Amino acid sequence: MEKHLTHTDGQGKARMVDVGEKAPQKRMAEASGMIRMSRETLRAIRENLVQKGDVLTVAQIAGIQAAKATSSLIPLCHSLTLDHVSLDFELEEAGVSARCRVRSQGRTGVEMEALSGVTVALLTIYDMCKAIDKALVLDGIRLVKKEKEDIT
């Protein structure tokens, strides 16, 4: 069974999907990823010793900002009003894992917003730590979950 690509017209040219006829729904998406780093870098983050500042706070703000700005970054994404964006970090043995959760009520999903949020948060950690760790690696960025439910 061949899937029809909704972001192309009959001639295969890119187009923005028309969601105007769809009923608004409650939408949620969650994305996760990790940045692998040395133990020394992890310790510097944990103890707030990175010269550029509080790495996780700056990354959290950057990720939330990125989720809100996704339609400016991804050409065919719809501009959405987001009800909530959360970005949480966990310090693990191999590095820092991040999880971004986005909620909205609208006619299209918020997967790209969650993915943008987690990716930019991890890129921010990369940027703030690259001077002290030359072997940083972003890993496993993926959509974990998405849900939608009718508004009653």
User: Which sequence positions are flagged as catalytic?
Assistant: 127
Tokens coding 83: 């009800």
Query: Based on C-alpha coordinates, what's the Rg of the chain?
Result: 18
Spatial neighbors of 107 by CB under 8 A, at least 6 apart, are: 19, 20, 22, 23, 24, 25, 78
| 82 bridge partner residues | 104
Burial 14-39 (b: 16+ CB within 10 A, else e): eeeeeeeeeeebebbbbbbbbbbbbe
